[in-house]
Structure 1
Amino acid sequence: MIRIAPVSRVSAEQSAAWHTVVVASLAGDLPDEPGPTPKQVHAQLTAAGLDSRRLLWLATETGGAVVGVAGLRLFTSPGQDHLAELELHVHPDRRRSGVGSQLLATAVFAAEVEQRRSLLTAAAADGGPGDAFCAAHGFRRVLTLDHLLLDIARADDAAADTEHPGYELTGWTGTVSDDLADAFAAAKNAMNDMPTGDMDYGSQAWTADRVRAMAKVLADRGDTLLTIAALRKGEMAGYTEIVIRAGETRRALQYDTAVVPAHRGHGLGLWVKAAMVRRLRAEHPGIAEIETDNAQDNTHMLAVNRRLGFRSHRRSHEYQLDLPTTPGGTSKVIPSWIA
């Protein structure tokens, strides 16, 4: 017997159980990838998200052992309040026993109650268990991402020395300064034209307050946010962001890189990313690599990353389940405790 129970306030024991399941799940699917630390998982479960809230469930078998977990992120900002994002893990020892289906059914029902029309989730590797699970439950593949790794010691950062007349570089850690907050928000809106395939992703409207809120979310998790930007006459022409998760000792994560449309074609994306490589070497010498992901049709950013020395690492897919939008509509996935 499996019991699916919601989690309202995450206890230390529940966080530890969640971590155990996630690490076991990822070790089975991505054996060469570093798993999250207990601190990182606890921060993810307990820290408030940006313009979103989370619903959490544990799947427990008779005797109390946690064998599966699911988290549903419900976006709340205009432009994305139709959207929910699912994270679901089942311990490898209990897969193909209905645990994942029960968790999914519970999450889908909750998303319908919240009147979401689209449910997104990610699956790693072609032909893996995540791909098969999504296909069996009515998801459709909407985007393919290439994950790349950069060995910082071997990165080609020569572009950091390239002259860009009229432009200057600046950088900060954590929250942007007040004098740059509005310019940074305007630049972040350039991310709304990033390739999203057939995903019903919507759009995000960035303001100075929202960029400050994003930095606070990361700080509350204990993460380090590094930003380098290109400025011209008070306007932010482009920027790149790197996040080093709390407790991380080796790998940094690439967040946004964007160039404002009016400033494209001048090599600014390569410039700011090369400068970031040098900054990491100087300020965080223990960080050995950067992980990034790009949509396969984002040819420009893929070319920039290849120029720096990023190499192919793995591939993942984004899946979407379309939910009914009519009152009283019901998806094909119904919770077992209702069926």
Structure 2
Amino acid sequence: MRAEIEQLSDAAKQSIGLLRRHLDWDTADKRLAELNARSEDPALWNDPEAAQKVMRERTQLEEAVSAIRRLEQGLEDAATLIELGEMEGDEASIREGEEQIRAVQAEAARRQIETLLAGEADGNDTYLEVHAGAGGTESQDWANMLHRMYARWAERRKYKVEIVEWSEGEEAGIKGATLLIKGHNAYGWLKTESGVHRLVRISPYDSNARRHTSFASVWVYPVIDDRITIEVKESDCRIDTYRSSGAGGQHVNTTDSAVRITHIPTGIVVACQQERSQHKNRATAWNMLRARLYELELKKREEKANAEAASKTDIGWGHQIRSYVLQPYQLVKDLRTGAQSTSPGDVLDGEIDPFIEASLAQRVYGGGEAVEDID
């Protein structure tokens, strides 16, 4: 086998080995057998809450074990393909085997990052809010572009996306939107995306074709499940109802079914217009508020533990995390990690994993300083 291919193969084997050690392979294999046996016992569902915990653990462990086995099999198949190609002088087979090894290595590296998602709520579904900054139509269009970017990212991962709240822009784009993204580790993957995102481009809304800079904020907070209890006093809240508009469809516009809740002590505001029923929207809004308060509590814990410098500041217009330049050159750059891409079209189409992985690694391992912004 050629030296470069051997190096690739060795790197992939090392990554898979790290995954095995992190999972504690022998213990995990035994535990999965125990959970499989318990899941087949009809008596398990006598206690639905306990049964759900068992099934959740089983699903996650089975996925982790199966993934490692797939990676090992993929590496073995690639080595066989390369060996046959070398014996027969078939360069196409050798290249195909090399690409398979690269794919295995990339997947193993991604899963190594995923092992960092061990936070209290990392495995949960997540809410993601996008809000346009000052700047009217230009910023509202940018907010809509970010909404689409995250929706496309979620679709690539086979996550389910629901629109909880949507506020149309005055001429184009959106003033704001809240997405509910459902899938394992959705919050863990997206939690470092909170912050201000900056766009530089020639505005399609400027007849003089001048370059504009626009801002939009993103806020990510976890859906809380039955393991987490957050008490909220109704006397601390102001509840408003209003007529829904936008992405919910025409039928939601006929009554004051949308609900907005303001938590007076913290100033947190949540809104829901997902359903035509005010009762259902109110219930969802209360869940969103509890989730925001829980996220605030998580943030306070991080500050107290001094886990990372970034968690010590509130999200504000001065706290930019990433710049997207479309003109006069093309570059997306993360100001926390230095990660960058010269293909902003791909990034805005949902290919943001390199930025997410870099920020997660920095969050866990530390290191790195703020990077100078780009003009």
Q: Do the structures match in fold with TM over 0.5? A: no
- The answer to which structure has the higher helix fraction is 2
Greater relative contact order (CA < 8 Å, ≥ 6 in sequence):
1
Greater share of strand: 1
TM-score (norm 2): 0.23
- Give the structure with higher Rg (CA): 2
